[in-house]
Amino acid sequence: MIRADKVSVGYGSDIASAVCPPISVSMKPGEGLAVVGANGTGKSTFLRAVAGLLDVLGGQIDVFGRPVDERTRRFRADVAIVLDEDSYLPALTVREHLLLTARGHGMERVSELVTGIIEEFGLTARQQAAPTALSSGQRRRLLLASAFVRPRRLMVLDEPEQRLDSGMRDRLAERLAAERKTGGGVVMATHDPVLVRVVATRAVLLGEDEVRVVSPEVAAQAIEAM
Ligand SMILES: Nc1ncnc2c1ncn2[C@@H]1O[C@H](COP(=O)(O)OP(=O)(O)OP(=O)(O)O)[C@@H](O)[C@H]1O
């Protein structure tokens, strides 16, 4: 599903500008990969490369057996991405966003599905509100809900716990664990040890001098010690 081979990521033009040492890690369907490390160690940068939003400086990332190309319809259909940024259409309500996302991905008769996801993400009372009228946590819920309302084989999530209260974090962890158990893949950057323990099957621990592939428990303990 994902195979990263000595991947260097960063914002300059050559390997010398990489933000962390090369990353080698792989992930199969039904697995969860947590990307863990202190602030600024390169978690979001690596996820951007997995999502095809940033070219790698060296090495290679294959997703579904092919080099990442986010422009292909197939990649966009298979990969649901929620990064660390607000992105929404200000003139559409919560419900309209989710209907549009599902229909845009070719789904039909989505009303019931959308109602269920809205409820699951605690947005029922705000479903007719525009995103600008939501709290920041509610907007984050909307973005996450958008990823669950569409077909996908892989979820790429950058700190999905951000701005969520603890009840919602726990429900999200269960939802992502269920995603994995039904054969989906989840790759997520996170600072939340609960998410790591519940969702991940392995983790990549980014540090300034080394990158290690570790068990979820080792990664969760590393977060707790940061
Ligand atoms: N657009 C950018 N241009 C140049 N440098 C950047 C850019 N975005 C991030 N960086 C730098 O790249 C390094 C890695 O940043 P990144 O956002 O990947 O870290 P992170 O591990 O996700 O951190 P956090 O836990 O704080 O979210 C940091 O030194 C950061 O300052």
- Express each pLDDT in 99-115 by its tens digit: 999 999 999 999 999 99
For ligand 1, the distance from its centroid to the CA atom of residue 185, given in whole angstroms, is 24
SS3 181: helix
Q: Which atom of ligand 1 is nearest to the CA of 41?
A: 21
- Express each pLDDT in 131-182 by its tens digit: 999 999 999 999 999 999 999 999 999 999 999 999 999 999 999 999 999 9
Q: Which amino acid is at 4?
A: A
Cβ atoms 3, 156 nearer than 8 A: no
Q: For CA atoms 196, 47, 191, 37, give the dihedral sign.
A: positive
For ligand 1, the distance from its centroid to the CA atom of residue 105, given in whole angstroms, is 31
Report phi then psi at 6, rounded to 5.
50, 50
Ligand 1 pocket check: which of 7, 9, 13, 19 to mutate, most ligand atoms within 8 Å of Cβ? 19
Within 6 A (CB) of ligand 1 lie 11, 19, 37, 39-45, 189
DSSP sequence for 41-83: SSHHHHHHHHTTSS--SEEEEEETTEE--TTSHHHHHHEEEE-
Structure tokens at 80: 């649901």
pLDDT of residue 87: 82
- Express each pLDDT in 9-59 by its tens digit: 999 989 999 999 999 999 999 999 999 999 999 999 999 999 999 999 999
185-189 and 32-37 strand pairing: parallel
Q: Which atom of ligand 1 is nearest to the CA of 206?
A: 21
- Express each pLDDT in 60-83 by its tens digit: 999 999 988 888 889 999 999 999
Q: Say how far apart CA 67 and CA 49 lie, in whole Å.
A: 11
Q: Which pTM was predicted?
A: 0.96
Q: Say how far apart CA 89 and CA 97 lie, in whole Å.
A: 8
Q: Say how far apart CA 179 and CA 111 lie, in whole Å.
A: 21
pLDDT at residue 187 tops 90: yes
Return the number of other C-beta atoms located less than 10 Å from residue 115's C-beta. 14
